[in-house]
Amino acid sequence: MTTETARPAPARSTAPASDDTAVPYAHTRLPDAERELLREVLYEVGTDPEQKFILGRRTAELERRLADRAGVCDAVACASGTGALTLALRAVGVAPGDEVIVPAFGAEPLAATVLGLGAVPVFADVDPVTMVMDPADAESRVTERTRAVVPAHTFTAMADMPAILAFARRRGIAVVEDAAVAQGATLGGRAAGTWGDVGLYSFFPVKPFGMPGEGAVVLSDDAELASLVRRLRNHGQDGVRRFVHHEVGYNSRFDEVLAGFQLARLHRADGMVARRAAIAEQYNARFAALRERGLLAPAPGADGRCHYVYAVQTVCRDSLAAHLAAHGIGSRVYYPVPLPRLAAFAAYAGEGARARRPGAELASARHLALPLHLNLTDRQVARTADVVGAFFD
């Protein structure tokens, strides 16, 4: 690759792109059909004689169907992805003073939830190409205090779950699989979210099966772990007798309107994921020839691929972003600084060799996300690819 200083940033266009050529990075407006569906479900729940607005029969049915789809014994719906991660960590026994290995490149809750339980986040490096946890580096950071490891699937790549499971079992630590962005993905024929002792999906609006609100689900094939998560989400109650608290829990309950909404469109989930995958493959086909000119695109294919964010990598990242913006095309840098270099987590960065995480530094410096959402047209995909290609010509 060339260096960022090897070429000047292209001049910004003085004329804004017209509406028919602009390509927004994100499009959060609900399609008309889903706006109508949301109105219908809201009316249905609001006029239901049962008058149950959280943890009702719709939530229970959504849990059953998601567990069946994933092939696990139980799924427990909760209030958010961050809440799901907290519940999962609690369920596997993370307690004050424990260490939890998390990726150094990723979203803030990976470390914040660990600290919220009084435990210590230990930051493992990531592979600079896939931008997910490096299993060898993660294992090198295991100590006698390590309770769990949290591999997180990021952007378009699932973590190397077989390698992570192998060292976790060898070292006697739990695996909490953060599949927040990976619902619908598979690795070796096995669904994302089902590899660890517990896993989770997020329904945050921009996720592959996102919805108009917060919510998530915790998955497990261990009935006891799932039962514990179910109690923890509801202040430690078992759902049978109110005001009998078996442990100190949380308020992380699921909304019945959103449960009804997700149920009504669950048959579309595979199609939604497939459309995002098709957009990614269009980009892949266009960008394959640009590798020698300095653009690293995600690996093609379906195995181990998720389609939350389509992020390319280049050392000319900032210049490419400016070039795209000048042509009316949105882009985004998600994690410009590795987690251990953020002020919030600097105290846990480590010293000496243990503070070195070159893969995370490269991922933070080089990644740039291009538009990938269900409202994107093939014409907009082609225009985005054209403008990226022009930058490297």
Q: Is the dihedral of CA 283, 286, 289, 292 positive or negative?
A: negative
User: At what angle are helices 317-326 and 378-392 packed, to 10 degrees?
Assistant: 130
Of the candidates 134, 144, 121, 128, the one whose C-alpha atom is nearest the C-alpha of residue 164 is: 134
* Residues 227 and 291 placed together within one structural domain of the fold: no
Residue 319 shares a structural domain with residue 345 = yes
Range of the domain at 307: 4-29+269-392
Higher pLDDT, 361 or 27: 361
Residues 356 and 237 grouped into a single domain: no
d(CA 180, CA 207): 8
295 shares its domain with 375:
yes
What pLDDT shows up at residue 299?
93
The pLDDT of residue 14 is above 90 = no
Whether residues 257 and 279 share a domain: the answer is: no
- Sheet with 120-124, side-by-side order of all strands: 74-78, 216-220, 198-202, 174-178, 146-149, 99-103, 120-124
Shared domain check, 291 and 256: no
Q: What is the CATH number of the domain that holds 320?
A: 3.90.1150.10
In this predicted structure, which of 13-17, 120-124, 230-234 has the lowest mean pLDDT?
Answer: 13-17
* Domain end point (choices 267, 298, 322): 267
Residues 258 and 353 in one domain: no
Greatest Cα pair distance, the chain, in angstroms, is 68
Residues 347 and 236 in one domain: no
Residues 260 and 153 both lie in one domain:
yes
- Do 119 and 94 form a contact (C-beta atoms < 8 A)? yes
The whole-model pTM stands at: 0.93
**62 with 209: CB under 8 angstroms?**
no
Q: List, for residues 1-10, the tens digit of each pLDDT value.
A: 333 433 333 3
Closest to 138 in 3D by CA, of 156, 112, 161: 161
d(CA 151, CA 62): 26
Q: Contact 310/279 with Cβ under 8 angstroms?
A: yes
CA 90 to chain centroid, in Å, comes to 20
What is the average per-residue pLDDT within 224-232?
97
On whether both 338 and 218 belong to a single domain, the answer is no
Query: Tell me: the pLDDT tens digits for 299-313?
Result: 999 999 999 999 999
Tell me the CATH number at 128.
3.40.640.10
What average pLDDT score do residues 120-140 get?
98
Give the helix ranges, DSSP H, for 126-192. 135-140, 161-171
Residues 6 or more apart whose Cβ sits within 8 Å of residue 375: 27, 29, 31
Regarding whether 147 and 66 lie in a shared domain, the answer is yes
Do 315 and 230 share a structural domain?
no
- The total domain count for the chain is 2
**Among 191, 216, 231, residue whose Cα is nearest residue 91:** 231
* Alpha helices (runs of H) in the chain, residue ranges in sequence order: 32-47, 57-70, 81-91, 109-116, 135-140, 161-171, 223-232, 256-264, 269-287, 317-326, 358-366, 378-392
Among the three residues 236, 267, 298, which one is the final residue of a domain in this structure?
267
Distance CA 131, CA 299 (A): 12
pLDDT tens digit sequence for 83-123:
999 999 999 999 999 999 999 999 999 999 999 999 999 99
Q: What pairing do the DSSP bridges indicate for beta strands 367-370 and 120-124?
A: unpaired
Mean pLDDT (the chain, rounded): 94
Domain boundary among 233, 249, 267: 267
